[in-house]
């Protein structure tokens, strides 16, 4: 059976840990050459070893997605190394500080939106430019969240950034459809990552948040990366402008009889 991303060149932002790392390894197993960005070199080397252990060819690009020059350079260096860009997963994100909106700071707003929203826009801009330069065609997946579909006290800045990602996704999909470029988003609920550990480490809070997921547990990075792989492959060739929820049932609500 042909591997899902055979001969493809992929760029993943935030690929040093968590969902980004797992996706990089899965893409390598499925035949892609994988460039990935991040800011932590030790973790990046670990990801590289995993990509190569999966039989893949990897390239780490130290980059801050909130800076246009860094994003443009990451795309250019990917193309210089591998000749083209076929697939992109715009995954880099931060949670910021969670407090009520009336207590939020401008600094936290700028920090969270600089990475979560501006960063996705910058990635889309330079990825689409490169794909058009190649003659069109390609797939892009943006990292949103169930937070892009709901409101939640204390998380307003983060939630606003993730709602914005879905708006960018739909617009990019509409603008690029005729060029054969598909753009979708994934919307995970709580996934077992460092970010979740930071946000929900307090035992009682962890228990309450876990109970919001009808499946009774948090998700794993692999459960998200498998969805990203599907959206980035030809197996989803008639899918664009969509937000795929990987949420353990969170959006349908907890079981009141449990």
Active-site residue list? 144, 158, 162
CA dihedral over 211, 215, 216, 222, signed as positive or negative: negative
Contact 143, 114 (CB under 8 A): no
* Secondary structure class of 181 (helix, strand, coil): strand
Cα–Cα dist 207/58, whole Å? 38
* Secondary structure class of 89 (helix, strand, coil): strand
Phi and psi angles of residue 39, each rounded to the nearest 5 degrees, phi first: -120, -5
Total residue length of the chain: 258
Among residues 141, 187, 180, which one has the least CA distance to residue 26? 141
Both tokens of 11, joined, read 């760029």
């Amino acid at each position: 059976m042909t591997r899902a991303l055979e001969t493809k060149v992929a760029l993943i932002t935030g690929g040093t840990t968590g969902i980004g790392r797992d996706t990089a390894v899965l893409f390598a197993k499925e035949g892609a050459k994988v460039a990935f960005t991040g800011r932590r070199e030790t973790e990046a080397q670990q990801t590289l070893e995993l990509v190569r252990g999966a039989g893949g060819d990897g390239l780490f690009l130290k980059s801050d997605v909130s800076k246009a020059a860094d994003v443009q350079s990451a795309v250019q260096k990917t193309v210089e190394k591998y000749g083209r860009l076929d697939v992109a997963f715009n995954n880099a994100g931060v949670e910021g500080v969670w407090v009520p909106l009336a207590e939020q700071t401008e600094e936290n707003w700028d920090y969270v939106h600089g990475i979560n929203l501006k960063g996705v826009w910058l990635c889309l801009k330079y990825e689409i430019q490169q794909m058009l330069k190649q003659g069109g065609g390609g797939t892009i997946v943006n990292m949103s969240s169930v937070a892009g579909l709901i409101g939640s006290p204390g998380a307003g800045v983060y939630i606003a950034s993730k709602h914005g990602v879905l708006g960018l996704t739909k617009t990019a999909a509409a603008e690029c459809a005729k060029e054969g470029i598909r753009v979708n988003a994934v919307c995970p609920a709580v996934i077992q990552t460092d970010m979740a550990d930071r946000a929900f480490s307090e035992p009682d809070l962890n228990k309450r948040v876990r109970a919001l997921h009808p499946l009774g547990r948090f998700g794993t990075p692999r459960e998200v990366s498998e969805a990203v792989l599907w959206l980035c492959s030809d197996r989803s060739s008639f899918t664009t402008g969509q937000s795929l929820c990987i949420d353990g049932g969170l959006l349908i609500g907890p079981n009141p009889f449990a």
